């Protein structure tokens, strides 16, 4: 493979296909038009002082500007830090500070999200590298930072320098919580992104004359962006939702006869609930899903009976989404398991006993370790975390528990450590605990995951300061100003002390006991007479 084929630009150079690259809200964007938008965005960045190694933060919903900025950054050697639109001030501030972003590309408003109001909760001293805001569309952003409009598609700017030829440099930063308190930044290069995109396109045998994708996941995460890049690399048209809503998703799936889509089990539940048709998607071929909610196996069986072909997946920010998938030539029960067969023939998955440190045989559970072309470069500005995660032989320690099967596939079983899966995202309890601990009247806090009516939520326990116990509504209100909605605890309980266990390694909080306490308290409240 030539060096150029390791660049993002090479992904779209499939001129023999006439299909559009994207369809945004009904507007067709041809491959030629997309190439032009990349050139325009690169010229804009260069004209505004963005150079090789500079970081720009992109805080946008799924729109042409988002993906054009990524490709443009790759062209000039800049880096995109992807910002989740569900983030609030604490999370946005943390990402800006950690990435050292010079510019923040943002929406002024989107539906109920007031981006300017969220920015108002960030102390300028927290983000010393941020020089200016760049607004997409019209509207006010903030009076505290210089602000410009992104007019690259309307105004002409001088051509940028010749494209860089170094494709192993960072070009994209995803956020991932894992088991750390603050999200880390996962760095990918053009080479890791394009290699995986081509692997997925080949493994799924994608063809532009037969297939189409509904992209309903956000580009700011690997689940959404990986799929878009893979289908783009195959010349397949990508129909894009700016943000997920079940009703427009259903309409596009049916009207455009979409063959492929990827999402969480909850997203597909909401779509299927809108139609009474026994088999609403006769054209569907591969609907890959991540199982985030209890009862997903039962739901998958219902969906299968209605002609929705579910395939289990595995992925992470570090090895990218769609790392592996179930196969059509196995039983339904095997096909829907989280895990499957790696998309890349060069990928290797092994399992290590977490107690002995020895590699184990198929059928024995342990920590999954992965070597693959899709593996990340490391954690941005965090050498120690990178050293801890990437072994001497190049394998990534996933922190996930699973087991190999004898046929070359594997099964993901659970997340190791304390990380919680909330709203489809991995969240560290420490993120929420830290925000609670700075609230007036809170001496200490612990957060655990709970299952409420089939939904993964979290519950919090606080130890209040003497004579200064804050009310639950006050704490919830404060957290809503600082954190994404899916991180807000369903309940916050005040207790005198946390249950602990003394051991040779120190005193450990009994998180399992806290989880049981939360469920017992919630159940008692529901059954109490009113």
Q: What is the mean pLDDT of residues 399-424?
A: 84
User: Sorting pLDDT into bands at 50, 70 and 90, what band is 365?
Assistant: confident
Q: Averaged over 174-201, what is the pLDDT?
A: 87
Instruction: State how far the Cα of 120 lies from the Cα of 126, in Å rounded to an integer.
Output: 12
Over residues 500-517, the mean pLDDT reads: 67
Give the CA-trace dihedral at 231, 232, 238, 243, to 10 degrees.
Answer: 90
Q: In what order do the strands lie in the sheet with 184-189?
A: 147-149, 132-136, 103-107, 55-59, 79-82, 170-176, 184-189, 378-379
pLDDT at position 208, please? Answer: 92
Please give the pLDDT value at position 506: 41
The pLDDT confidence band at residue 401, using thresholds 50, 70 and 90, is: confident
Residue 181 binned pLDDT confidence (cut-offs 50, 70, 90): low
The pLDDT assigned to 383 comes to: 95
State the average pLDDT over residues 300-306. Answer: 94
The answer to whether 65 touches 41, Cβ cutoff 8 Å, is: yes
Confidence (pLDDT) at 109:
82
Per-residue pLDDT averaged across 335-356, rounded? 94
Confidence (pTM): 0.84
- Looking at residue 428, what is its pLDDT? 74
**Dist CA 462 CA 455 (whole Å):** 23
Structure tokens at 206: 């994608």
- Rounded CA-CA distance 457/467 in Å is 30
Separation between Cα atoms, residue 77 and residue 171, nearest integer Å? 7
State the residue for tokens 């195959």: 234
pLDDT the model gives residue 502? 47
**Segment of 40-44, 294-298, 414-418 carrying the highest mean pLDDT:** 40-44
Percent of the chain as helix, strand, coil, to the nearest 5: 30, 30, 40
514-521 contact pairs (CB < 8 A, 24+):
514/446, 514/448, 514/461, 515/448, 515/449, 515/450, 515/459, 517/461, 517/493, 518/448, 518/450, 518/459, 518/461, 518/491, 518/493, 519/450, 519/451, 521/491, 521/493
Residue 177: band (very low, low, confident or very high) from pLDDT cuts 50, 70, 90: low
Check: CB of residue 207 under 8 Å from CB of residue 234. Answer: yes
Residue 495 has pLDDT above 60, yes or no: yes
The conformation of residue 8, written as its DSSP 8-state character, comes to G
Residue-level pLDDT at 4: 80
With the C-alpha atoms ordered 42, 47, 48, 51, is the resulting torsion angle positive or negative?
Answer: positive
248: pLDDT confidence band, cut at 50, 70 and 90? very high
Pairing relationship of beta strands 410-415 and 396-404 according to DSSP bridges: antiparallel
The predicted-structure confidence for 116-144, as pLDDT tens digits, reads as follows 889 999 999 999 999 999 999 877 677 68
pLDDT reported for residue 507:
46
Q: Report the mean per-residue pLDDT for the chain.
A: 91
How far is CA 164 from its chain centroid? 27
pLDDT of residue 505: 35
Higher pLDDT, 78 or 182: 78
- The pLDDT value given to residue 295: 76
- The helix (run of H) or strand (run of E) holding residue 456 is strand 455-464
CA dist., res. 2 & res. 20, Å (int): 26
Query: What does residue 204 show for φ and ψ, rounded to 5 degrees?
Result: -85, 0
User: Are residues 214 and 252 in contact, defined by beta-carbon separation less than 8 angstroms?
Assistant: yes
Answer with the residue of higher pLDDT: 432 or 345.
Answer: 345
DSSP 141: -
Q: Give 280's pLDDT tier (boundaries 50, 70, 90).
A: very high
Domains for the chain: give ranges and CATH numbers.
3-187 (3.40.50.980), 244-415 (3.40.50.12780), 421-527 (3.30.300.30)
Please tell me which residue, 376 or 5, carries the higher pLDDT value: 376
Over residues 145-165, mean pLDDT: 93
Instruction: Calculate the alpha carbon distances from 472 to 27, 326, 428, 437 in Å.
Output: 46, 44, 21, 14
Please check whether residue 206 is in contact with residue 231, taking contact to mean a CB–CB distance below 8 angstroms: yes
CB atoms within 10 A of CB 513: 14
Q: How many CB atoms lie within 10 A of CB 139?
A: 14
User: What is the per-residue pLDDT across 207-242, written as a single tens digit (0 to 9) for each?
Assistant: 999 999 999 999 999 999 999 999 999 999 999 999
Task: List the single range of 100-109, 176-185, 317-326, 444-453 with lowest mean pLDDT.
Answer: 176-185
* 425 pLDDT above the threshold of 80: no
* Spatial contact of 204 and 261, defined as CB atoms under 8 Å apart: no
Question: What pLDDT shows up at residue 530?
Answer: 62
| Mean pLDDT on 2-16 | 80
pLDDT at 508: 60
**Is residue 126 a contact partner of residue 93, using CB atoms and an 8 Å limit?**
yes
Residue 409 pLDDT class (50, 70, 90 cuts):
very high
Q: Which residues contact 304 (CB under 8 A, 6 or more apart)?
A: 310, 332
Give the pLDDT confidence score for residue 501 in this predicted structure. 62
Helix H segments across 13-158? 31-47, 64-76, 89-99, 115-120
* 419 against 81, higher pLDDT: 81
Collapsed DSSP state (helix, strand, coil) of residue 104: strand
Residue 351 predicted with pLDDT over 90: yes
pLDDT, average across residues 159-178? 90
* pLDDT at site 472: 94
pLDDT at residue 418, rounded to an integer: 64
Provide, rounded to the nearest whole percent, the portion of the chain with pLDDT above 90.
72
pLDDT at 467 over 90: no
- The CA distance from 314 to 324, in Å, is 5
State the pairing for strand pair 286-290/260-264: parallel
């Amino acid at each position: 493979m030539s060096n150029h084929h390791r660049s993002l630009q090479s992904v779209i150079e499939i001129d023999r296909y006439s299909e559009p690259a994207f369809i945004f809200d009904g507007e067709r964007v041809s491959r030629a038009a997309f190439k032009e938008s990349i050139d325009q965005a690169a010229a804009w960045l260069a004209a505004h002082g963005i150079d090789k190694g500079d970081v720009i933060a992109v805080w946008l919903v799924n729109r042409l500007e988002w993906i054009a900025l990524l490709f443009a950054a790759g062209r000039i050697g800049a880096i995109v830090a992807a910002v989740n639109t569900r983030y609030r001030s604490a999370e946005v501030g943390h990402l800006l500070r950690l990435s050292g972003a010079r510019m923040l590309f943002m929406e002024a408003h989107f539906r109920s999200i007031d981006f300017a109001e969220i920015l108002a909760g960030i102390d300028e001293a927290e983000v010393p590298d941020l020089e200016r805001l760049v607004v997409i569309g019209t509207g006010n952003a903030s009076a505290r930072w210089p602000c410009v409009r992104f007019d690259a598609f309307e105004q002409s700017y001088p051509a940028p320098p010749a494209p860089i030829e170094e494709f192993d440099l960072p070009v994209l930063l995803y956020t991932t919580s894992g088991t750390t308190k603050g999200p880390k930044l996962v760095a990918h290069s053009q080479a890791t992104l394009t290699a995986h995109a081509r692997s997925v396109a080949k493994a799924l045998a994608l063809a532009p004359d037969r297939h189409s994708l509904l992209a309903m996941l956000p580009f700011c995460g690997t689940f959404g962006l990986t799929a878009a890049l893979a289908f783009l690399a195959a010349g397949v048209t990508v129909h894009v939702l700016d943000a997920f809503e079940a009703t427009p998703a259903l309409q596009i799936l049916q009207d455009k006869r979409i063959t492929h889509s990827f999402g969480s089990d909850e997203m597909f539940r909401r779509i299927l609930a809108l139609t009474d048709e026994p088999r609403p998607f006769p054209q569907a071929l591969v609907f890959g899903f991540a199982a985030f909610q209890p009862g997903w196996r039962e739901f998958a069986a219902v969906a299968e009976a209605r002609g929705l072909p579910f395939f289990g997946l595995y992925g992470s920010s570090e090895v990218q989404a769609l790392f592996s998938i179930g196969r059509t030539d196995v039983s339904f029960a095997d096909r829907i398991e989280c895990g499957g067969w790696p998309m890349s023939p060069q990928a290797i998955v092994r399992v290590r006993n977490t107690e002995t440190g020895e590699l184990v045989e198929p059928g024995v559970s342990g920590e999954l370790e992965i070597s693959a072309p899709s593996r990340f470069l490391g954690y941005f500005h965090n050498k120690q975390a990178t050293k801890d995660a990437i072994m001497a032989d190049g394998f990534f320690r996933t922190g996930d528990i699973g087991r190999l099967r004898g046929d070359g596939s594997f099964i993901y079983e659970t997340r190791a450590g304390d990380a919680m899966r909330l709203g489809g995202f991995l969240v560290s309890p420490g993120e929420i605990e830290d925000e609670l601990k700075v609230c007036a009247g809170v001496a200490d806090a612990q957060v655990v995951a709970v299952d409420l009516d089939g939904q993964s939520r979290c519950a919090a326990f606080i130890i209040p300061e003497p004579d200064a116990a804050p009310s639950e509504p006050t704490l919830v209100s404060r957290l809503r100003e600082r954190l994404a909605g899916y991180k807000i605890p369903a309940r916050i309980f005040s207790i005198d002390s946390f249950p602990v266990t003394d051991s040779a390694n120190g005193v450990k909080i009994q998180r399992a006991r806290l989880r049981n306490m939360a469920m017992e308290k919630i159940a008692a409240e529901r059954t109490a007479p009113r």
